[in-house]
Amino acid sequence: MAIADAIADDRAYVMQNYGRAPMVLARGEGAYVWDTEGRRYLDCLAGIGVMNVGHAHPAVAAAVREQIGQIAHTSNLYYNETQPALGRRLVSLSFPGRAFFCNSGTEANEAAIKLARKRHAKAGRPDRYEVISFTGSFHGRTYGSLAATAEVHYQEGFGPMPEGFRVLPFNDLDAVRAAVGPQTAAIIVEPVQGEGGVNPADPAFLRGLRDLADQHDICLIFDEVQCGMGRTGRMFAHQKYGVLPDVMTLAKALGGGLPIGAVIGRGEWGDVLSPGDHGTTFGGGPLVCAAALATLDVLEGENLPERAERVGNVLVEALKKALAGLDAVKEIRASGLMVGIELTFPGRDLVEQARQKGLLINCTAGSVIRLLPPLVLTEAQASEAAAIVGDVVATAAKARLSA
Ligand SMILES: Cc1ncc(COP(=O)(O)O)c(C=O)c1O
């Protein structure tokens, strides 16, 4: 199908809630994708942090093919083999507890919030429902997760938001100390904020939240939807910090490209829900769980978290060199292969310029160029990406000076 026809059909038959680049992607392999005209791109966005194992990984493809040939969906009225196997695997990789499976990041956060409130309600404290989140956070687009998302523009036109949500400044422990009380049910935080512009939490902030949660019996939720699954150099970002959450949410890269979300409740947080309390038709189905198990095999078998750390350092060093001396660059922030370059001006146009040079990246929080490449990225590919980013930033900075 010609690009123009695909775009025309999209405009006619698909709700226009996305701003899309004018290209049609047809296939991928490792860190590369190809459009329908055969043009190759170095994919440093990986479907927004989803394809951590790279595109079309043969082991994930084989597991999906095999599972769909056996049974794809069972509903949660019956047991299947893959869901408990995935629960066991995630728990063994993180902390003792239990998993709940859903289909996306927003649903995982929704479930985590419900879990926190339910535990207090069950203990006779139904008025304990406030959820604290932080500036720069993004937790999803369904109402609970949206109410916890700090950026109000995501909420505009969709009000009223559910009550019981409060946003505090990120990395400001004193503000949290002053705000928590007998009304607080949960604190939800991304150990490394993604959409907010790649902002790592201060280690002392996460440690302080852990202490406050312990003192006040608050559920500490780590949203690792974007920063989990090896992205930051450890399988889970909290392991880098050495701070345990009560509840961790996952999605994005967990299914190797198939939609799956998970909530891991540590210890007693895994015991809160009873039959009928919460659920979803597709959650934890055999197909997505088989994909996730194969994805975990690849992440572990190919040491991709370690690779994210190593190649992330190469990428950051190369970016520093490529961007050296440019006043347009405020800061480069990174954790493993989660990299943000904050500019002094809006970065949206640079995304298109990079695409025209064969590199896929995006811009978040208005002025942060973000790279979330597959963790299979090679050092040579990291250098190539840095050179293109350096080129487009320098060109844009020069154009602004002469304007
Ligand atoms: C940290 C974080 N939480 C939640 C979400 C929502 O995930 P989903 O788009 O799968 O609903 C995202 C998506 O970007 C995210 O980055």
Mean pLDDT, the chain cut into blocks of 10 residues (403 residues total): 90 97 97 97 98 98 98 97 98 98 98 97 96 98 98 94 98 98 97 98 98 98 98 98 98 98 98 97 98 98 98 98 96 98 97 98 98 98 98 95 84
Distance 106 CA to ligand 1 centre (A): 6
Q: Please give the Cα distance from 53 to 254 (Å, whole number).
A: 10
Q: Chain-centre distance of CA 113, in angstroms?
A: 17
The β-bridge relationship of strands 184-189 and 130-134 is parallel
Instruction: Decide yes or no: CATH 3.40.1360.10 for domain 58-301.
Output: no
Domain boundaries in the chain?
Answer: 3-53+303-402, 58-301
Distance 226 CA to ligand 1 centre (A): 7
Q: CB under 8 Å to 135, separation ≥6 — which residues?
A: 150, 167, 168, 169, 170, 196
Identify the pLDDT of residue 2. Answer: 81
Joined tokens for residue 309: 């750390």
Number of C-beta neighbours around residue 192 at 10 A = 24
Q: Where are the beta strands (DSSP E) in 72-148?
A: 97-102, 130-134
SS3 of 57, please?
Answer: coil
Backbone Cα Rg of the chain? 21
Residues with CB under 6 A from ligand 1: 104-106, 109, 138-140, 190, 194-195, 223, 225-226, 251
138 tagged catalytic: yes
Cβ-contact 283, 254 below 8 angstroms: no
For residue 38, the 8-state DSSP code is -
Identify the pLDDT of residue 41. Answer: 98
Both ends of the chain: CA-CA distance in Å? 40
In the block, residue with structure tokens 């084989």: 62
Identify the pLDDT of residue 403. Answer: 80
Identify the pLDDT of residue 401. Answer: 84
Distance 111 CA to ligand 1 centre (A): 13
CATH number at 3-53+303-402:
3.90.1150.10
Task: Give the DSSP letter string of 224-289.
Answer: -TTTTTTTTSSSSHHHHHT---SEEEE-GGGGBTB--EEEEEEGGGGS---TTSS--SSTT-HHHH
Cβ-contact 273, 118 below 8 angstroms: yes
Joined tokens for residue 332: 């480069």
Q: Please give the Cα distance from 362 to 369 (Å, whole number).
A: 6
Name the nearest CA neighbour of 241 among 254, 225, 226, 224.
224
Distance 139 CA to ligand 1 centre (A): 5
Cβ-contact 4, 23 below 8 angstroms: no
Identify the pLDDT of residue 323. Answer: 97
Identify the pLDDT of residue 318. Answer: 98
Identify the pLDDT of residue 69. Answer: 98
138, 170, 205, 236: the catalytic one is 138
Task: Give the DSSP letter string of 104-117.
Answer: SHHHHHHHHHHHHH
Query: Omega of the bond prior to 245 within 30 degrees of 0, cis?
Result: no
Cβ-contact 191, 201 below 8 angstroms: yes
What strand order describes the sheet that includes 184-189? 97-102, 261-266, 247-250, 219-223, 184-189, 130-134, 165-168
- Secondary structure string (H, E, C) spanning 184-214: EEEEEECCEECCCCCEECCHHHHHHHHHHHH
Among 17, 102, 138, 154, which is best to mutate for testing ligand 1, by the most ligand atoms less than 8 A from CB?
Answer: 138
101, 165, 205, 223: the catalytic one is 223
Q: Chain-centre distance of CA 83, in angstroms?
A: 21
